[in-house]
């Protein structure tokens, strides 16, 4: 088995976040990149192997930089191709039209990736969490009111007994 074949086999078994952490020198992966992985899983239903093949190809071709737009253009291609694993994804991308890939090379650093869609997604998530928290606080508030009503009732009963 060649080194490339061993690597493709490894890509099948590693979590995409771990792969990016490996490329990032073991440092934590920036949240926008984690969001890209999440979105690839949600939108395309790719396996970890396909996502890893795609990410590794992008990292190698773009000097260890990831661009959301570039990743999603390639993901569309892989979806149409129906790649099922890292080997198929990586091989397809390696054999894709060189002109297409060269025009898509981008120079954004892995740490500097900023994405409006990511921000909007997080705002929606925070809004939902706030809504859930508000519901939870209301439930607790109602429970406290019930307890206070019970205490007040007991105090009135005590007051009647004392008279």
Domain boundaries along the sequence of the chain: 3-112, 115-163
For residue 24, what are its two tokens?
């990032």
**For residue 139, pLDDT beyond 90:** yes
CB 109 within 8 A of CB 65: yes
- pLDDT tens readout for residues 103-114: 444 333 333 445
Contact, 41 vs 52, CB < 8 A?
Answer: no
The predicted-structure confidence for 30-75, as pLDDT tens digits, reads as follows 899 999 999 999 999 999 999 999 998 888 888 888 889 989 999 9
Query: Would the pTM of this model clear 0.75, i.e. be above it?
Result: no
Confidence class for position 97, pLDDT limits 50, 70, 90: very low
């Amino acid at each position: 088995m060649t080194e490339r074949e061993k690597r493709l086999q490894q890509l099948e078994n590693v979590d995409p976040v771990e792969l990016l952490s490996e490329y990032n020198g073991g440092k934590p992966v920036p949240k926008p990149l984690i969001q890209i992985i999440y979105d690839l899983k949600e939108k395309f239903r790719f396996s970890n192997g396909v996502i890893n093949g795609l990410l590794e190809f992008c990292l190698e071709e773009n000097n260890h930089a990831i661009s959301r737009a570039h990743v999603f253009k390639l993901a569309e291609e892989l979806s149409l191709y129906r790649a099922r694993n890292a080997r198929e994804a990586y091989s397809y991308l390696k054999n894709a039209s060189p002109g297409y890939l060269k025009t898509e090379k981008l120079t954004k650093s892995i740490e500097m990736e900023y994405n409006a869609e990511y921000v909007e997604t997080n705002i929606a998530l925070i809004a939902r969490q706030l809504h859930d928290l508000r519901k939870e606080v209301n439930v607790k508030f109602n429970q406290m009111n019930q307890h206070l009503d019970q205490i007040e009732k007991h105090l009135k009963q005590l007051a009647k007994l004392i008279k």
